[in-house]
Amino acid sequence: MTTRSPTGPAPLPIPGAWQPLIERYRLFLQAAGRPKTTIGTRISHMSRIARCLGESPEQVTHDLLEVWFAHQKQWGQETRRGYRASATGFFSWAHAAGHIPFDPSTKLPSVKAGPPTPKPAPDRIWKEALVAADARTTVMLYLACEAGLRRAEVAQVHTDDLREGFSGYQLLVHGKGAKDRLIPVSDEIAAMILAGPGGHSPGHGDCGFLFPGADGGHLSARWVGKLCAAAMPGVWTMHKLRHRFATRAYQRTRNLRALQQLLGHASVATTQIYTAVDDDEMRETMLAAADSGPRPWTRWASSAAGVVVAASAATLVNHAVSLVP
């Protein structure tokens, strides 16, 4: 079973020498109108960098930062890109604003975007996750797997976001980049939302944020992701349920534009990254491209087989003759 927490764990503290500058950077990002999710990611990345480097911001050098990045061998391509973006954004701002004498991130090597590798969670993983999850996490899993929501979008679901349209229930999703979208949801998903937080956690009432956190807010996206990952076996994550939603929806409808709207992507090209091609479809496509006419290799194989048969027959005859007294 997954670990229960009413609010999620408290974030690790920011080192004292870094705290004023990182908080000032948070205000800068807010003033620039950056989405809450982006700000949260940048601050989280810089907090970790601050804890690991062990120096004050003005003492960080090119070499120190580069060596630290080099030692993060466990990172995937996109994680490395994300941390680099956070570091370059923070240090370039701090230098331009006169908070540090130079920008130590200027020599960080660029990181290419990784190739699209959709990895939808298979049926076995989905079923095992449902068995392992508690009631609260089960609702989170369904919102990712059967509505295609990101973890940050799941965290922000509110009972007031559910609407009843002509064709059925709809959910107002608070998406990435402060872009809201209205998507249809099944009656089952609607029932989970209508029940409110008390539907999965008795005593929390039937209205408000579906996953309440501290001070009347909601759980963090990070904690929602951790709860779901804890219920899923191995290295599978909540985001792979979103890949599963996208892949299954596309295979059954072939409507890429509708899927783009459901997922909240600005570009169809991004949606294509989420849709894995079925093995049977690839085989069917390969066979469709194959020439249906006579094959030279089949004629060669037939001739070769004839030679082998003739040679075998001759061997048997010679053997039989040798046995005659």
Residue 251, amino acid: Q
Helix axes 36-53, 221-231, angle to 10 degrees: 80
CB atoms within 10 A of CB 44: 16
Query: Is-catalytic flag, 239?
Result: yes
Q: Helices then strands (H, E): number in the chain?
A: 14, 3
Do 184 and 160 form a contact (C-beta atoms < 8 A)?
A: no
User: In the structure encoding, which two tokens stand for residue 77, read together?
Assistant: 């391509």
Query: Is-catalytic flag, 265?
Result: yes
Query: Is-catalytic flag, 242?
Result: yes
Pairwise CA distance, residues 74 & 163, whole Å: 43
Pairwise CA distance, residues 262 & 82, whole Å: 25
Find all residues with CB under 8 Å of 39, minimum gap 6, and list them: 26, 29, 30
Query: Among 25, 83, 250, 274, which one carries the catalytic annotation?
Result: 274
Query: Among 99, 163, 176, 222, which one carries the catalytic annotation?
Result: 176
Pairwise CA distance, residues 108 & 72, whole Å: 14
Query: Among 45, 136, 150, 174, which one carries the catalytic annotation?
Result: 150
Query: Among 26, 62, 239, 248, which one carries the catalytic annotation?
Result: 239
Q: Which of 282, 214, 274, 220 is nearest to 247 (CA)?
A: 274
Pairwise CA distance, residues 305 & 325, whole Å: 33
User: In the structure encoding, which two tokens stand for residue 303, read together?
Assistant: 């001739």
Query: Is-catalytic flag, 119?
Result: no
Query: Among 42, 200, 218, 242, which one carries the catalytic annotation?
Result: 242
**Residues noted as catalytic:** 150, 176, 239, 242, 265, 274
